[in-house]
Amino acid sequence: MNKIITISRQFSSGGREVGKRLAEALNFAYYDKELVQKVATKGGFDAEHVEKQSEQYSYQLFPYQIGQSFATYEPYHQLNVDLKVIQNKLLKEIAEKENAVIIGRCADYVLKEYKPFKVFIYASNMECKINRCNEKNTSDNKKSNDELIEEINSIDQKRAKYYNYITEQKWAEMSNYDLCIDTSSVGVKGAVEIIAKAIETKYN
């Protein structure tokens, strides 16, 4: 069975960077935006729409009322249902094909039959998150710290809502993961080394 590492992460915790560097270190495939592009191509969707929807809780994914017939779905809702189906199918194809690091997309839950190694990356220090946001923002449109905090918390709330709905588990509850790491303590480089050691000790 291939080794699959799923990385769930708080917004601006550096989780995506951890995943990318980890995949390089272990010589595993890496899926994040790559997955978005694949879903878009396969389903004939617009890539921007896929990215927007792929981790968003969307009430529109489901019928307006219980008991309402499937026939009354509006095209937009059906589109999002199709998107999830394609995304989940692709995740399973990846797990069948190769060792991989996969960011977000409830892959820890979707791929549970493949027994992924489930990591959660967080940053307990809000200042670290704000600094990371500012480093990434290359535009002239700087946001205040208060605006950034609101944005960071709001994105995490959406991720939690989406994860909790899809998986019926609780996002960021440690018992759903094998390993949880605070990048504001050990840094991105440290997190990569810690996960690599965990993989070595678990599979060797």
Instruction: Check: CB of residue 133 under 8 Å from CB of residue 156.
Output: no
Distance CA 23, CA 17 (A): 10
Q: Rounded to whole angstroms, how far apart are CA atoms 160 and 59?
A: 14
The correct pick among 29, 79, 155, 198 for binding its own copies (CB under 8 A) is 198
Which residue(s) pair with 119 in the sheet?
A: 7, 179
The interface with its own copies within residues 156-185 (CB under 8 A) comprises 172, 174-182, 185
CA-wise closest residue to 161 among 172, 152, 171, 150? 171
Query: CA dihedral defined by 138, 142, 148, 151, rounded to 10 degrees?
Result: -70
Shortest Cβ distance from residue 53 to its own copies (Å)? 27
- Shortest CB 202 distance to its own copies, Å: 5
In this complex, which beta carbon is closest to its own copies, that of residue 47 or of residue 194?
A: 194
Write out the binding residues for its own copies, residues 75-134 only, by CB under 8 A.
117, 120, 122, 124
Size of the site for its own copies (CB under 8 A): 25
**Contact residues for its own copies (CB under 8 A)?**
117, 120, 122, 124, 172, 174-182, 185-187, 189-190, 193-194, 197-198, 201-202
